[in-house]
Amino acid sequence: MNTKYIILLIIIVFLIVFLNNYEKNIEKLSPSDGEKLSPSDEYIDEIRIKNNMEQYLKFKQIQDRILKEHNFQIGYKELDSVDKKTIGYCPLGQYFKGTVPKELSTNDLNKCSSCRKCPKGYYIKEGCLGNVDTVCEQKKVPFDIYLESHTRPFSIHNMINPHQHKYDITENDDKTMRFKLSPIEHSHL
């Protein structure tokens, strides 16, 4: 066999062994289910909880402005039945599912669950906050709010009625328009 092929074979074997060991070491770094979090992991989860509250408060400002300007309630809102200590605990779009303990801790973050999506023709009126799931309402969202949902930073886009957009619009020879439709579930970047 040619020496350059032997050297290449040795390098490939060495890389395979190295990458295999590297993968095993990486797997050891992540906590497994039921494993107690280290103090640094708890600190990271505390930062996540703090960030969740900050994001909720920013969203609440947008929501309050929409309610004031358009007199229209849309999006995540606390209901009377919500346990106040769970508000802002989970990220926006998720709620605390299950029995709420007397004291919330970083170990309870795994109880955050995605909120129910509203079907076509409905929008998120309230809920999806604290320990209460989404409350949908069948009503047309005002056009001004629809337009705002399609303006950066798209903070309320996912709360309006599921909808599609025309794109790739072209004109046929007979002056009719041809276009494609976006999927109903989409997001804006």
Is 26 inside a domain boundary?
no
Domain count, the chain: 1
Identify whether 168 is part of a domain.
Answer: no
Residue 185 lies in a domain: no
> 14: buried, middle or exposed (CB in 10 Å: 19+, 13-18, 0-12)?
exposed
pLDDT tens for 18-75 read: 777 766 665 555 544 445 556 667 888 889 899 999 999 988 888 888 888 888 888 8
C-alpha distance from residue 102 to each of 80, 108, 130, 168, 174 (Å)? 19, 11, 14, 54, 69
144: which residues sit within 8 A by CB, 6+ positions away?
Answer: 70
Residue 181 φ then ψ, to 5°: -115, 140
Does a structural domain hold residue 131?
Answer: yes
**3-state SS assignment for residue 94:** strand
Domain hosting 52: range is 42-159
- At 97 the pLDDT is 92
- Span of 96-105, 144-153, 170-179 with lowest mean pLDDT: 144-153
| Average of per-residue pLDDT values in the chain | 81
Query: pLDDT of 10-20, one tens digit each?
Result: 899 888 887 77
- 145 found inside a domain: yes
Q: Which residue has the tokens 């029995």?
A: 99
Q: Which long-range contacts (C-beta less than 8 Å, at least 24 apart) are formed by 98-106?
A: 98/131, 100/131, 106/37, 106/41, 106/42, 106/45, 106/46, 106/49
